[in-house]
Structure 1
Amino acid sequence: MAISRQTRLYIVLGVAQVAALAVLAWFAERQVALGPTDKLGWRPFTWPLSTERAPAGHAYSGEDHDVYVWLTLNGLGSSGDCPKGIANDAALERAVDIRLLDPRFEPVGPGERLRVTDLVGWTRVYVHRRNNKSLRYGEAVAVSYKCDVISAIIDGDARDPAKRKTAHEFLESNTVQVWINKQLEGR
């Protein structure tokens, strides 16, 4: 018994629909695992940085910036900075290697003191020239909680103080702070 052309077409369409639903279910499961987009529009995405040079953390994409946040437990214990925290450019360089994003990043100038919620740390702006000769700016941020270090890289136009402020406010938001507190539970 031969299958009609119309029946074969229905079978192909049915298989295509099942495949499309499977892909949609996989994508939905992945998005649920990453977490929801917050009310300000920051969307989580898969951690893209090397876990050999920095522990896995959370990555978020906003309107103007991508923000990568991670926690290094006892990150200051061996460097002698534990009592002082992150208080200068050298301590920031030890805590955050912005060259994880691109090895061509160089500091724009000296860093400055920064407060994220009730934690104090250090921040510094970096720049590199892309292959198309445009400039790319980023910012390294590190604050300490006891001897643990909360590090962030802000990838976007870090020259603009308003955009930097938006990224810093995101670091203080519930989205980031809840994740950090869960990581610090029991310490």
Structure 2
Amino acid sequence: MTMVAAAMALGASGVGAYQLAPVPAETSAHWREIAWPFPRDGWPAGRAFRCDGACDGAELYVRAKLGFCNCDRGVADDDEVDRVADLDLISPRFAATAPGDPLRVDELEGRARHYDLDMPDGARHAATGIALSRRCDLMVAVVQGAGEARTMQRAAIEFLQTQEMKRWVVAALDGR
């Protein structure tokens, strides 16, 4: 009922209202939702979060890319993570620091890979690109910040495994 009222009040679609819904307390301990910071492109906007806890201001960007995955192989290699993980939205200057690792988050499987980002303001950030597939669809995420890449990755994956985020990912991959 709240989402319907929000959609009517804001003139937003049901999907937009769902994306604007507040994050429950269980997921706000360290991560708080912020506005999607990137311009429109060929994919729907996702959700963005900032960590105010142990991950020292890291930001996490998550979105679905429907029909954008090899239906038979899923996310098969690091080149695919490089192509789909939205790192180029943060900075056009990014470089992988090592080969990626297989990753499973709930029913989604894929890969995670660490990068160095040269930020537009001259700062250097660490990032982890994550690409996970379900059938022919992708869930991509990037966590980036001034902290250590593995620490930020652990915090992001822990957050992605919360019930609220799992529900949102399933809804986004189902096109809702």
TM-score by structure 2 length?
A: 0.75
Q: Which residue of 2 aligns with 1:101?
A: 90
Contact 2:106 2:161 survives alignment (8 Å):
yes
Contact 1:142 1:150 survives alignment (8 Å):
yes
After superposition, residues 112-151 of structure 1 pair within 5 angstroms as 112-130=101-119, 134-151=123-140
Deviates more, 1:46-55 or 1:168-177: 46-55
Deviates more, 1:101-110 or 1:32-41: 32-41
Aligned length: 154
- Post-superposition Cα deviations, 1:122-181, rounded to whole Å, max 9, x if no partner, equal 111110345776531111101001001000011125644333211111111123211112
Which structure has the larger Rg? 1
Alignment gaps of 5+ in structure 2: 1-16
After superposition, residues 57-72 of structure 1 pair within 5 angstroms as 57-63=46-52, 64=55, 65-72=58-65
Q: In the alignment, which of 156, 159, 169 is matched to residue 145 of structure 2?
A: 156
Q: Which residue of 1 aligns with 2:20?
A: 33
After superposition, residues 11-90 of structure 1 pair within 5 angstroms as 33-36=20-23, 38-39=25-26, 40-52=29-41, 54-63=43-52, 64=55, 65-76=58-69, 81-90=70-79
Alignment gaps of 5+ in structure 1: 1-29
Q: Which residue of 1 aligns with 2:8?
A: none
TM-score by structure 1 length?
A: 0.71
When the two chains are superposed, the root-mean-square deviation of aligned CA atoms in Å is 2.7
Runs of 4+ that moved beyond 6 A: none
Q: Could you tell me how far 1:36 is from its partner in structure 2?
A: 3.0
Q: Which has the higher contact order (CA 8 A, sep 6+)?
A: 2
